Amino acid sequence: MGEGGGVAGGCGNNFSEDMAVELGDEPHVLAVDDNLIDRKLVEKLLKNSSCKVTTAESASRALDYLGLGNETLKGTVSKVNLIITDYCMPGMTGYELLKKIKESSLLKEVPVVIMSSENIPTRISQCLEEGAKMFMLKPLKQSDVMQLKWRLIKCKD
């Protein structure tokens, strides 16, 4: 693939039948990326797909928003239907964020998608094994987001 961009998903391998996700009409997505341009891009891609979007510039800010962080204020925890995060971030990586989410009884059912500009098979399988729903290659395209929505709604096997 010359230009980059593509998806890999774990649906149908080690997941139970109950993994169908009801995203509803306007899913609320939390997009985490330390790169400002990438945040703008993913936000627009998601908004164009009828998603409500909140962005976070780091894993720790994301955790605060999700109610798992040190700085979470009581009563401000928001419900999200999907978390999409970059892998390579300073401080806590997207992989570490994924693990924290999956360890949380509050949030482990929320699907997590990892994005990365680097196509490293061991990285991809590591994320899928840890419970990521999908792995997407950057730069993201409209077709990636469409496929993401379709897979997360349709994934039943």
Partner 1 sequence: MEVVQIQRNLVDYTKSLFMEGFLDGQFLQLQQLQDESNPDFVAEVVSLFFDDSQKLLNELTIALDQPIVDFKKVDAHVHQLKGSSSSIGAQKVKNACIAFRNFCEVQNIEGCLTCLQQVKLEYYLAKNKFETLFRLEQQIVASGGSIPMIEMGF
Query: Can you give the binding site for partner 1, defined by CB under 8 A?
Result: 3-5, 34-38, 40-41, 44-45, 48, 88, 90, 117, 138-142
Residue-wise over 29-59: b if at least 16 C-beta within 10 A, else e? bbbbbbeeebbebbbebbeebebebebbebb
Find the shortest distance in angstroms from Cβ 21 to partner 1: 25
Find the shortest distance in angstroms from Cβ 150 to partner 1: 18
Closer CB to partner 1, residue 4 or residue 12?
4
Q: Which amino acid, 22?
A: E
Of 62, 52, 73, the residue nearest 114 (C-alpha): 62
Find the shortest distance in angstroms from Cβ 92 to partner 1: 15
Coil, strand or helix: which one is 32?
strand
Closer CB to partner 1, residue 80 or residue 115?
115
3-state secondary structure 41-107: HHHHHHHCCCCEEEEECCHHHHHHHHCCCCCCCCCCCCCCCEEEEECCCCCCCHHHHHHHHHHCCCC
Find the shortest distance in angstroms from Cβ 90 to partner 1: 7
Find the shortest distance in angstroms from Cβ 45 to partner 1: 7
